[in-house]
Amino acid sequence: MTAKAGYDGIEPWVDSIQEYVKGGGSLKELRQRVIDSGLTVEGSIGFPDWIVDDADRRAKGMERARREMDLMAQIGARRFAAPPAGATDLPLLDLFKVTERYRALLEIGDQIGIVPELELWGFSKNLSRLGECALVAIETGHPKACVLADVFHLHKGGSDFHGLGLLGPDTVQVLHMNDFPSDPGREKIDDSFRVYAGDGVAPLPAILRKVAATGYSGPLSVELFLQQFAAADPYAMATEIATKAGAVMRAAGVA
């Protein structure tokens, strides 16, 4: 269905794949289905507590990250999102300690063959700003360190979109291309207000031109949480999203 709707890749959530396996599904078979469809698994979304200060909790989070990255690598996933799960509230973390923890996560990814992406979460007290994520990625000194950027989260966290122009094509490997309305304001908006590309007020064509100017040619991933999805026809929904996203890309001159 995804391929037929015009997409080139998928970015599944780990828990969806775990549910598939628990139901008797074969990872090898799933990987072959992805290949046969012509799709790629550009990324994967998990939430291990790799970043937290508590050493025991962090160790468990790192082990969970290892298991989940291995799981996703088996279906061909190229990347694994690493958001500040477990540290969305105070206290503020020492970013240089976060740097050490992110490097440790990258080294696990090296062993498995998958790249953990430092994900910005605009609603979080930690790693809510693009500059914070860039600092952590840079200071790891690891060649595969990168940032998972998201139009909605940049807005929510208060980062100006022009900052994307300071990051190279290897620094941002995936961009979540979401849109948002003018109301409610940044302080009150949450995930439920994300809308289709082009249906909101995000300067998406300008953003796409900005990242294209850095040499970026990676995937644009749609991540939405609209209530109407529960009752919607999946193929009709996927086709409409692809059509609107394509229009935005053409307006930006990057289609």
Mean pLDDT of 200-209: 98
> How large a percentage of the chain has pLDDT more than 90?
98
- Looking at residue 4, what is its pLDDT? 95
Q: Is the pLDDT of residue 230 over 90?
A: no
Q: Is the pLDDT of residue 54 over 90?
A: yes
The tokens for 57 are 């909790």
Which contacts (CB < 8 Å, 24+ apart) does range 24-33 have?
Answer: 27/71, 27/74, 27/75, 28/74, 30/75, 31/74, 31/75, 31/76
**Between 255 and 133, where is the model more confident?**
133
Mean pLDDT of 116-123: 98
The mean pLDDT of the chain is: 97
Mean pLDDT of 91-104: 98
Phi and psi, residue 54, nearest 5°: -60, 120
pLDDT of 157-176, one tens digit each? 999 999 999 999 999 999 99
- Looking at residue 224, what is its pLDDT? 93
**For 224, left (φ over 0), alpha (ψ -120 to 50), or beta?**
beta
